[in-house]
Amino acid sequence: MKKLALLLLFCSAAGFAQQDAQYTQYMHNTININPAYAGSRGVMSIFGLYRTQWVGLDGAPEASTLSLNTPISGSSLGLGFSLVNDKIGPTSENNFSADISYSIQTSAEAKLSFGIKGSANIFNLDPNKLTMEHQGDPKFSNFKNKFTPNVGAGVYYHSDKGYVGLSVPNFIQTNRYDDNDYAIYKEKINYYLIAGYVFNLDRYEMIKFKPAALAKMVEGSPLQVDVSANFLFNDKFAAGVSYRWSAALSAMAGFQISKSMYIGYAYDRETTKLNNYNSGSHEIFLRFEFMKGYNRITSPRFF
């Protein structure tokens, strides 16, 4: 039954619109979807995340991401670099991207940033992982190291208290073809809208509350909406919940290990019938920031 669920999942992904990898802790992983985020934290930031989805389901999605973004000292520019590895069933992708942003100071506390993303995608399909009846099919024999370039853009309005962003990481819709008549995999354009704000709940700013939301639209797929609510205590420990509309409910936690290092974890449970075939999803990330040498030092925050 688990393999049947995976087969249906893969056929759906192969035959219709393909969405980018999804993350529960999207508020910490903004650079992957919006190039205008590059340099917005004011320090050089290195971020690594691993997500294993639908544990117990054969061939279920796995995603790993490693990114670096930094402001360029003495300028209004920011740079970012990312590597994302995404696996599902017999397929795997490696996506390499570079980002550049330009920020305009709109007030004493806020900036408006514009960003451009250039990326390269390498797609692989392992026919040995297909069902027996498809392993000899010539349609599936020529999908090794398929290379496709892409370009994206975004805008990001932000301060130390809140943010709103709109982005399209990939403007070019691409197909992976075996011949001129057959496409196994279609990468559609993904549109992202994100927003969040931090509220101080006491006069000493010991307890902070941040609601956040992400909306993702892909042609041929239902609108995906994630909403979350997090509390930050003494700028050290964060805890909260997240809900992916008609899909999953999540619990999140994070800890500021030191001024430079932050670790976070999330656990998801499906709210659909797929919950019967897996034991949930796990996501963990680590962020390290180089404080020395920058004029602006950020305090611990949600984004």
* Residue listed under structure tokens 């893969």: 10
Say which DSSP state 132 is in. G
E strand segments, the chain: 44-52, 62-71, 77-88, 91-105, 111-125, 146-158, 162-168, 174-179, 182-187, 190-197, 199-200, 207-218, 224-233, 237-244, 248-256, 261-270, 281-290
Residue 3 pLDDT: 46
pLDDT by residue (tens digit) across 266-280?
999 999 998 999 999
pLDDT by residue (tens digit) across 193-214?
999 999 999 888 899 999 999 9
Mean of pLDDT over the chain = 85
Strand, helix or coil for residue 106: coil
pTM of the model: 0.86
**When comparing pLDDT for 274 and 16, which is higher?**
274
Residue 176 pLDDT: 57
117 bridge partner residues: 99, 152
Residue 205 pLDDT: 82
* Residue 26 reports pLDDT greater than 70: yes
CA 277 remoteness from chain centre: 24
**Sorting pLDDT into bands at 50, 70 and 90, what band is 136?**
low
Torsion of CA 74, 76, 79, 80, to 10 degrees: 130
Residue 2 pLDDT: 44
The two structure tokens encoding residue 152:
């994206």
Q: Cα separation of 117 and 123, whole Å?
A: 19
**When comparing pLDDT for 172 and 79, which is higher?**
79
Say which DSSP state 9 is in. H
Q: Cα separation of 132 and 148, whole Å?
A: 29
